[in-house]
Amino acid sequence: MSFPQVFHRNAVPVDGPAGQRQHRGVDEAAGPAPQTAEPAAAAEPAPQAAGPAREAAGPAREAAGPVPLGDLLRALRRRADLSQRQLAERSGVPQATLARIEAGRVGDPRFRTVERLVHAAGGRLAPPEQFPLPLPAATYELNRRYRDQRRWANQVRREVSVRRVTDEGLPATQWRFVAELPDGRRLGELRAHERSPRLLYGDLVPAGEREIVLDGVLVTGACRRLGIGRRLMEALTGEMDRAGITVAHAVAEAAGIHLLVKCGYRIETSRPYALCLDRSVGRRNY
């Protein structure tokens, strides 16, 4: 387990007589500083702190590579002039756990445990650049049924193909497209027909002008939201370009409106009435 870098709030070089007093607080194993009878010796700068404390404070740690977690915690604790018992009381972590971490006998300590120890010692955690790491897709789909559905949907998207039907005795003005799998199973169908706007507007429209009227788009329920309806509409648009037809009309409701709008259709201001002829209404007994 890798941990973020550990920094101390007061990571500054240690120099001069004040540095000697601070060094005595950092390295508690060295004991009290020896008294000297030469005044000139006190004026000389103290040697730089060596060991883990020096590596945790200066840029030399970055050049030397990663430092073991136990050495970093020990350096922070000594810099804060705390014993293991005091740091354990501040952080709420058992002293035995702290001792094992500093000794390197805990191979994978919990992140929250390390975070509490570092904060109690006056340090902070800086997350490395690779965090947060992306989680695999399997982490979000613990249910095997969802995983199988996702795999099946991806397979359908790869294998489905759209073609225009021209070999079933359809008239030239009837357009039909089907979406099917390699084994012949049909997943969707689009039907449309041509009409002449000259019949509607008379001589205002040049002779030979044609328009498309979309009769409907149908996709099986299990394969909806897989892009099959859009692919059928794209096939219709491509065939219109090859035939030189630039206008298509459609009447839709509910979800069909969203599909057509996404495929480039616009809603006209006039709303046609929905009419129905049902000759069996007078014969019903309810």
pTM of the model as a whole: 0.47
Look at residue 199 and tell me if it is in a domain: yes
In 3D, which of 89, 98, 118, 114 has the Cα closest to residue 8?
A: 118
Looking at the fold, whether 9 and 119 belong to one and the same domain comes out as yes
What's the pLDDT score for residue 229? Answer: 92
The parent domain of residue 243 ranges over: 159-283
Per-residue pLDDT tens digits for 10-38: 544 444 444 443 433 334 434 444 444 44
Per-residue pLDDT tens digits for 120-140: 988 888 766 655 666 666 556
Looking at the fold, whether 175 and 97 belong to one and the same domain comes out as no
d(CA 23, CA 246): 85
Look at residue 240 and tell me if it is in a domain: yes
SS3 178: strand
Look at residue 148 and tell me if it is in a domain: no
Residue that finishes a domain, picked among 110, 126, 142? 126
In 3D, which of 11, 8, 10, 5 has the Cα closest to residue 125?
A: 5
Give the CATH number for residue 163. 3.40.630.30
- How many domains would you assign to the chain? 2
CB atoms within 10 A of CB 80: 19
What's the pLDDT score for residue 42? Answer: 39
With vertex at residue 137, the alpha carbon angle to CA 134 and CA 140, rounded to the nearest 5 degrees, is: 100
Cis peptide before 59 (omega within 30 of 0): no
Look at residue 140 and tell me if it is in a domain: no
Give the CATH number for residue 81. 1.10.260.40
